[in-house]
Amino acid sequence: MECHICEVRSSVGYCVQCHQLLCETCGVPCDQCGKMSCPPHIHETKSGKALCAGCYAERRAKKEAARAEVVQRHTQQHRDAIDTSFQTLEAPPGAEGEEISSEALVASARRVVEPWKFSLYIALAGTAFGIVLMIFPTWRHVAFGARTFPTGALLFVFIVFAGFWAWVGLRSEEFYQDRVKCFYGIGAAVVCAVLAFVTIFSAPAVEKRPVIPNIEMRTGDESPEQLQQWRDNALNKYRSQQ
């Protein structure tokens, strides 16, 4: 009997799914059970293994079962984490029809805010503050006497707190399901850092007014020579500041 695909070589087996005759060249053996399949009915895994329809279905069933087991275990751990001591209370004698459902107890329990939310909210607040500084350049520094303080440096406070809560979310086993969400806050913190450097290095220069030294006050009793000397001193001090 000839191969159904090439119609040239003799068949040595058949496809386990469509039962068409196959030769050694056209047939693809299964890497798990060794059964032959035609090219349209062979399944290739991500690792490069060729599996027949039966082995591939068995492989998928095992993966689905393992995934369901992991989800069930995580769900049970999450329920145990939010369980309250109210479930151990017993209804008092004679109190019929006043039982509290478990759903109501869970809903009334205090919910803990996830660390990734803290990280994201703090980073967004810092980003909003940085955008305000970008819109109003004169707010990028604060004068303290003869010195100035770059307001953009305050953005690093937001960055530190956002990074801290993101680190808590990544390291905490209690919030393992939301670890990927911690990168939202990290990304917003990076944007906040860029705004911090831009606002610090692009702050407009502060114009300092010239300080004119004190000039001795006139008493009114000066002689013409003293009055002329006072005028010369005042002019010299003023010219030295220009």
Q: Which amino acid is at 54?
A: G
Residue 24 lies in a domain: yes
Percentage, residues of the chain above pLDDT 70? 75
Q: State pLDDT tens for residues 198-228.
A: 988 887 665 555 555 555 666 666 677 777 7
Reported residue count of the chain is 242
Residue 165 lies in a domain: yes
Q: Are 177 and 74 in contact (CB under 8 A)?
A: yes
Residue 193 lies in a domain: yes
Residues 71 and 12 grouped into a single domain: yes
Count how many domains the chain has: 2
Decide which of 33, 66, 84 is a domain's last residue.
Answer: 84
Q: What is the CATH number of the domain that holds 75?
A: 3.30.40
Rounded Cα distance, 71 and 59, in Å: 19
Sequence-distant (6+) residues with CB within 8 A of 67 are none
Residues 63 and 119 grouped into a single domain: no
Rounded Cα distance, 28 and 153, in Å: 66
Residues 127 and 67 grouped into a single domain: no
Residue 100 lies in a domain: no
Determine the pLDDT at residue 173: 77
Q: Where are the beta strands (DSSP E) in 70-139?
A: none
Residue 90 lies in a domain: no
Domain residues for 70?
1-84
Q: Which residue has the tokens 């004190």?
A: 214
pTM here is: 0.42
Residues 131 and 71 grouped into a single domain: no
Sequence-distant (6+) residues with CB within 8 A of 165 are 115, 116, 118, 119, 122, 185
Q: State pLDDT tens for residues 106-143.
A: 444 455 678 889 999 999 999 999 999 889 888 888 87
Determine the pLDDT at residue 91: 47
Q: Which is more confidently placed, 34 or 160?
A: 160
